[in-house]
Chain A
Amino acid sequence: MTFAITFIAPSDPAEMMYFSRDVVPTKEMIEQAREEMGLNDPLLIQYGRWLTGIARGDLGYSYSLRTNVSEILPQKIEKTVYLACFSIVILFVVSFALGVIAAMCKNRVIDHIIKILSMLSISIPSFWLGLILMYYFVVQLQLFKITDSDHASSIVLPALTLAIPLIGRYTMQIRAEVLDELGCNYVLGARTRGIKEFRIIWSHVIPNTLINIITLFGMTIAFLLGGTAIVEVIFSWPGLGSMALDAINQRDYVLLQAYVLLMAFIYVGMNFIVDVITQLIDPRVNIFGGCKHNE
């Protein structure tokens, strides 16, 4: 699939390589370059070469950056993973806090406020949010630096931008789950035994809601990964997403291929991890297709 991308591409890689070096190529030069890059071989042979390359960890040579793709990828991955992890932490902390508060104050003013806020957060386009945050915190208040991605505080805004559109969805889900659990008999039992409300929620209700939230997380990974591309472009964050966009502008399909392949790997891998975690938390779920035992 990823390989197919280079073939639907309208322009010739060999030609583009010369253009990227500001040389207008002649017919012979292109022909020679095609020969060197193995582009004159039949499709299947090229595909086979590409597959074995991947198996050996070789993703090809990026002519816009003039290095091997596998050399620059690790640092880009690090940046993107760092950003994603940071926003996942924000996401879970904030939405659990809001969701539990909303559930405890069901139908009171604070519940309605949280409901409206999460509705708004779902609707906000992340690219606009990023720009607005940048305007207020960087231009007006000068709280954060965003030009320097190594600076510790520079991650706050991109991570927030990535997290906020998801926080609404999670908050509502957590609120619903917590309310479900609060209606269970064991909560009533705990209450009659005189256990404090906070303790009931912390040690009984939250662990029980976790499993559904993790399933929800599995479904939002795609959103998160796609979102990194947009957020990285806004904040000039030197991760995989902005690399891919640069690759598109440079017509560097090798690099773009690497990006798509990597994202697919991360995506499938994360989904698998989520499945495994789900099973670890709740042994009733069998990911290997066995029958599901209900209580």
Chain B
Amino acid sequence: MSKHLTVIITTALAASIVLISLIAPFIAPNDPYKTDFKSVLAEPNDEYPLGTDQVGRCILSRILYGANVSLSITFALLSLVFVSGVTIGIVSGMKGGIVDDILMRLADIVLAFPDIVLVIAIVGVMGSSVSNMIIGLSLVWWTKYARLTRVSVMKAKGNIYVSAARMAGASDLKLITHYILPNIATALIVQLVLDISGMLLAISSMSFLGLGVQPPTPEWGNMLNEGRSYFQTAPWLLTYPGLAIFITVAVFNLLGDGVREILSREQA
């Protein structure tokens, strides 16, 4: 029961973070791009609740807009790698044989490199931009879902009801959509929820290294990077964007854990 409560609370928290990011333009006190040279590096005050940065932009507004940027990239990327990874995994698991071999060798090549290192290399070579970061991250992340799906599909394929459906004349497509996917969906969705925080961290890490979202677009990671040089005199440049990442990641972590526990108990 208490587990259900945790999940409800964390879902509410996660939903409110998403909501805040969506209505950011309406609640932000200032324009996140407007520079105010009269109050550069101002401490938190009435006009700028969380202070201003090195060119006098409102930190609170930038964090709110940053939430929008960070979260939308996170969810877009996750859906992209989820759909492509699951599709590849299903194809690989259903077809077997040479198709399976080729796809899995491709995944092995990617997996031979530590993931962040590979993304850094890909983005580094192609040039730093959001689209290149998305390409880099998705090239690395699809393997995760592809492998998980492939294993689950192969396991599910061995069930008697699948053979029965096949004997009854179900096509491959029908087998997948009606019999296999519903059975493996739980595991995949748990993994997806668990990965939200990881993806968010990966994106802000890349932006922090200057390889992701480029300034002046506000993103939590690149706000930290920009504020880095001023942290001795203006620590609020670092505190608040960092806190934003920290809280968001913590909430999604808790949500993932809760969902996993509930669903795995239901399955058992």
Given contacts A132-B242, A268-B112, contact A260 B126 (CB under 8 A): no
Segment touching A, from B61-69, B180-188, B227-235: B227-235
The 6 closest A-B pairs by CB, nearest first: A226-B116, A248-B124, A128-B242, A123-B250, A222-B114, A225-B114
A244: chain B residues at CB < 8 Å are 117, 120-121, 124
Chain B, residues 234-268, CB within 8 Å of chain A (1/0): the string is 01001101100110011001100000000000000
The answer to whether B242 and A139 have CB atoms under 8 Å apart is: no
A74: interface (CB < 8 Å) = no
The answer to whether A127 and B114 have CB atoms under 8 Å apart is: no
The answer to whether B127 and A131 have CB atoms under 8 Å apart is: no
The answer to whether B254 and A10 have CB atoms under 8 Å apart is: no
Distance, CA A135 to CA B238, complexed state (A): 10
A184: interface (CB < 8 Å) = no
The answer to whether B238 and A263 have CB atoms under 8 Å apart is: no
A227: interface (CB < 8 Å) = yes
Distance, CA A119 to CA B21, complexed state (A): 24
Chain A, residues 220-238, CB within 8 Å of chain B (1/0): the string is 0111011101100110000
Segment touching B, from A1-9, A94-102, A175-183, A284-292: A1-9
A126: chain B residues at CB < 8 Å are 205
Residues of A1-22 whose CB lies within 8 A of B: 1-2, 5-6, 8-10
A54: interface (CB < 8 Å) = no
The answer to whether B209 and A226 have CB atoms under 8 Å apart is: no
The answer to whether B246 and A124 have CB atoms under 8 Å apart is: yes
CB distance from A98 to the nearest CB of B (A): 18
Q: Return the contact of B124 from the options A135, A227, A233, A256 (Cβ within 8 A).
A: A256
The answer to whether B253 and A119 have CB atoms under 8 Å apart is: yes
Q: Return the contact of A221 from the options B109, B114, B197, B205 (Cβ within 8 A).
A: B114
Chain A, residues 243-269, CB within 8 Å of chain B (1/0): the string is 011011000010010011001100110
The answer to whether B235 and A260 have CB atoms under 8 Å apart is: no
CB distance from B77 to the nearest CB of A (A): 17
Residues of B93-122 whose CB lies within 8 A of A: 109, 112-118, 120-122
Given contacts A125-B245, A131-B238, contact A9 B209 (CB under 8 A): no
Chain A interface residue count, Cβ-Cβ cutoff 8 angstroms = 43
Q: Which residues of A are interface residues toward B (Cβ below 8 A)?
A: 1-2, 5-6, 8-10, 119-120, 122-128, 131-132, 134-135, 139, 221-223, 225-227, 229-230, 233-234, 244-245, 247-248, 253, 256, 259-260, 263-264, 267-268
Residues of B185-200 whose CB lies within 8 A of A: 197
Distance, CA A128 to CA B109, complexed state (A): 31
**Smallest Cβ-Cβ distance to A253: which chain B residue:** B125
B209: chain A residues at CB < 8 Å are 229-230, 233, 245
B224: interface (CB < 8 Å) = yes
B238: chain A residues at CB < 8 Å are 128, 131-132, 135
25 contacts between A and B (CB under 8 A): A5-B125, A6-B125, A120-B250, A123-B246, A125-B201, A125-B249, A126-B205, A127-B204, A128-B242, A134-B231, A222-B115, A222-B116, A225-B116, A226-B115, A226-B116, A230-B208, A230-B209, A233-B209, A244-B117, A248-B124, A248-B125, A248-B211, A256-B124, A260-B113, A263-B117
Distance, CA A234 to CA B113, complexed state (A): 23
B212: interface (CB < 8 Å) = no
B221: interface (CB < 8 Å) = yes
CB distance from B5 to the nearest CB of A (A): 16
Distance, CA A226 to CA B224, complexed state (A): 19
**Smallest Cβ-Cβ distance to A131: which chain B residue:** B238
A225: chain B residues at CB < 8 Å are 114, 116-117
**Smallest Cβ-Cβ distance to A248: which chain B residue:** B124
**Smallest Cβ-Cβ distance to A222: which chain B residue:** B114
B254: chain A residues at CB < 8 Å are 119
**Interface contacts beyond A245-B120, A256-B124: sample of 6 additional A-B pairs, CB < 8 Å, sorted by A:** A9-B125, A9-B126, A119-B254, A127-B205, A264-B113, A264-B117
The answer to whether A127 and B116 have CB atoms under 8 Å apart is: no
Distance, CA A8 to CA B123, complexed state (A): 11
Distance, CA A263 to CA B118, complexed state (A): 9
The answer to whether A227 and B116 have CB atoms under 8 Å apart is: yes
Distance, CA A123 to CA B125, complexed state (A): 30
CB distance from A242 to the nearest CB of B (A): 10
The answer to whether B246 and A256 have CB atoms under 8 Å apart is: no
Q: Return the contact of B117 from the options A128, A131, A226 (Cβ within 8 A).
A: A226
B231: chain A residues at CB < 8 Å are 131, 134-135, 139
Given contacts A125-B201, A135-B235, A229-B209, contact A264 B112 (CB under 8 A): yes
Distance, CA A260 to CA B201, complexed state (A): 21
CB distance from A283 to the nearest CB of B (A): 27
CB distance from B118 to the nearest CB of A (A): 7
